Amino acid sequence: MKKAILHYANVVQNLYIYIDFHAHASKKGCFMFGNFLSHDPTEAHPQSDQVENVLLPRLMSLNCANFDINECNFSERIMNAKDKSGQSREGSGRVAINKDAKIKLVHCYTLESNYHNGRRVNHLAPRLNKASGALEPDGIVTDVTSKVYMPPGSVPGQGPTPPPFTVEILEDVGHALCASILDLIEENPSSRIPLSQYKNIHVSDNKDHLIVMKTFASYRTSEMTWNLTSLNMRTAPCSLQLSDSKILQIDWLSLQCRERPL
């Protein structure tokens, strides 16, 4: 399989994206691991390859109620980490393909899913049919006000509860991934992006979004924990944990990023 993929990358030179699918026993939720790429602007990606790299999981969080961007990791350390058996991540599909491909592959990921449930639920913008201009209805899995997320006995005003993962929820993750890829190449006929707070995927047109993306891409820390649950609340601060003793606070009111001790 690796040889066939590298054939498309190195001979045909027509490989745009690589995604490996894994189950995860300990870490909750659906999330992505990605590679640590260059932070320098390029002709293809003026905001840097790393910002472009992070864009797909950000789109996933706008298309999938159960995708958790807080658990995503694109650090240099995760590329070099070893598992319990001592095997290096360099043997993982996304790292190996990125390393062995002769063309630049920005979009190489591992999509992970816990066996049971997640920690957070995303509120999704409506899907807009671009041809007709009509809104398309959500199903029970994408409607966070449905009984899937508000089971009997839920406390009013508490918000959606992360549900146990079912076949339908995992299928929706797959549907959302396909929709996110179409959004990434701007070919999605039924997209949530136009009615989201961002309106389009061009981060240079969305100043607050760009601050988060650039901040995430520019910090060369060994580990980063995303805490972006307030991202849809423009007046609320959000933060990135940089280390055990340091946190980066992003204030939407002043659009400033400040390092603060924990």
Instruction: List residues with catalytic annotation.
Output: 112
Distances (CA, A) of 127 to 138, 147, 189: 8, 20, 10
In whole angstroms, what is the distance from residue 135 CA to residue 125 CA? Answer: 10
Angle at 28 between CA 27 and CA 33, to 5 degrees: 60
Stated length of the chain: 262
State both tokens at 224: 């980063």
Angle at 197 between CA 238 and CA 131, to 5 degrees: 155
Q: Collapse the DSSP code of 35 into the 3-class scheme (helix H, G, I; strand E, B; otherwise coil) and give the result.
A: coil
- Provide CB contacts within 8 A for 119, sequence distance 6+: 28, 29, 68, 70, 71, 162
Q: Is 111 left (phi over 0), alpha (psi -120 to 50) or beta?
A: beta
Buried b (16+ CB within 10 A) or exposed e, 200-223: ebebeebeebbbbbbebbeeeeee
State both tokens at 248: 């980066």
